[in-house]
Homo-oligomer: A and B are copies of this chain.
Amino acid sequence: MESRCENCIIRQLNALKALNRNDLKRISDTKVSKTIKKGDFIFEEGEKLNGVFCVRDGVSKLSKMSDNGKDQIVKIATKGEVLGQRSVITDESTNLSAIALNDMEVCFIPKAELTESVNTNPDFTKELLLQMASELKIADNIIVNMAQKNVRQRIAELLLYLENTFSIDNEGYIGMIFTREDIAGIVGTAKEACIRALSKLKKDTFIITEGKRIKLENKQKLQAIVDGLID
């Protein structure tokens, strides 16, 4: 399924919205649509990227695997997000891998086109800057949370974030399914600790689980856990 960037609504969700007609035409002429299957790499840690990937559909994780097999997820990227942006800007190899969590549709935009827009379109550069600054703030918050909150708190916070990001299906469950291992990878703990924390939240009737699916039953309480007001 090919289509023109000019008509792509996804664009509105990221820095590409600042592109003008010329930029869009140029980029659209060179971009390549790709389908990526669940579990496949979009790119791998250490790779030198020669472009970025604009997510049209699907969800991916940006993560780093440790020697002992633990996969720390730094970010979940969904529709509208641009992957590899940072590495392309700084012209370094990626320090993270991007893996598809379900089947994905992405557009590959060559580095040269991006650089051209950065060099000739100040609005685009400003937009990138804004987005980078906002991502940095999020990253700083994660650092603080990892140090100051325990696993239960971090999981409660993640659940609220996930419902917010993926909204709910018609039965009230979070609209995207993650394995317990991925959830553990996001909050930075072991799979077992993650499972136990979820089981505890279920026993406390703050959530309902059915297989991998999770429904938030009491968001006030979950937030109170995050804030350390209750245990």
Contact = CB atoms under 8 A, between A and B. Distances in A.
A78 interface: no
B137 A86 contact: yes
A2 interface: no
A13 interface: no
Interface in A186-211: 188-189
B141 A95 contact: yes
B66 A148 contact: yes
B137 A140 contact: no
A230 interface: no
Interface residues of A, number: 41
> Interface SS of chain A: helix, strand, loop or mixed?
helix
Nearest to A90: B133
Interface stretch (A30-38, A104-112, A124-132, A164-172): A124-132
Nearest to A67: B228
A95 B148 CA distance: 15
Contacts of A142: 143
Given A66-B148, A147-B70, A89 B140 contact: no
A129 B15 CA distance: 13
Nearest to A65: B148
A72 B147 contact: yes
Interface in A68-109: 68, 70, 72, 74-75, 85-86, 89-90, 92, 95-96
Kindly list the 7 A-B residue pairs having the minimum CB-CB distance in the complex, ordered from nearest.
A147-B188, A139-B139, A122-B122, A66-B148, A132-B132, A72-B147, A89-B133
Interface of A: 64, 66-68, 70, 72, 74-75, 85-86, 89-90, 92, 95-96, 118-119, 122, 125-126, 128-130, 132-137, 139-144, 146-148, 188-189, 228
